[in-house]
Structure 1
């Protein structure tokens, strides 16, 4: 699968886009980023591509 490159007109637009994608991912995984990082750092999650 080829990655799509997006150029934003401002850093704020880029930040908003990242925040939206992160929010969607957190909802899909039913896990906040802080929880994921903590569990992954402790080796409680696998290295699957989903994560």
Structure 2
């Protein structure tokens, strides 16, 4: 399967897009992304392509969120 790379103009745009992707996984699997990720890290989920992508997207989401929160703290 060929992967598509999407570039965003800002971290906020990327965060919004990732949030939408995470939500689609949450609906599909009826599980919150944070709960899924804990289970994934503990090896309690399948390691199929869908779950791997979900975990990767969630890691990226966490990193972007931390980056944006850090920037917001430095504004004050």
TM-score class, shorter-chain normalisation, is 0.7 to 0.9
Alignment size in residue pairs: 50
Gaps of 5+ in 2: 52-76
**Over aligned residue pairs, what C-alpha RMSD do you find?**
1.5
SS at match of 1:50: helix
Q: What is the TM-score with the length of structure 2 in the denominator?
A: 0.54
Tell me the equivalent position of 1:30. 30
Gaps of 5+ in 1: none
- State the distance in 1 between where 2:36 and 2:48 align: 13
Compare relative contact order (CA 8 Å, sep 6+) and give the higher one, 1 or 2. 2
User: Per-residue deviation at 1:50?
Assistant: 3.3
Task: Tell me which stretches of 4 or more aligned residues in structure 1 moved more than 4 Å.
Answer: none
User: Per-residue deviation at 1:5?
Assistant: 1.1
Q: What is the TM-score with the length of structure 1 in the denominator?
A: 0.74
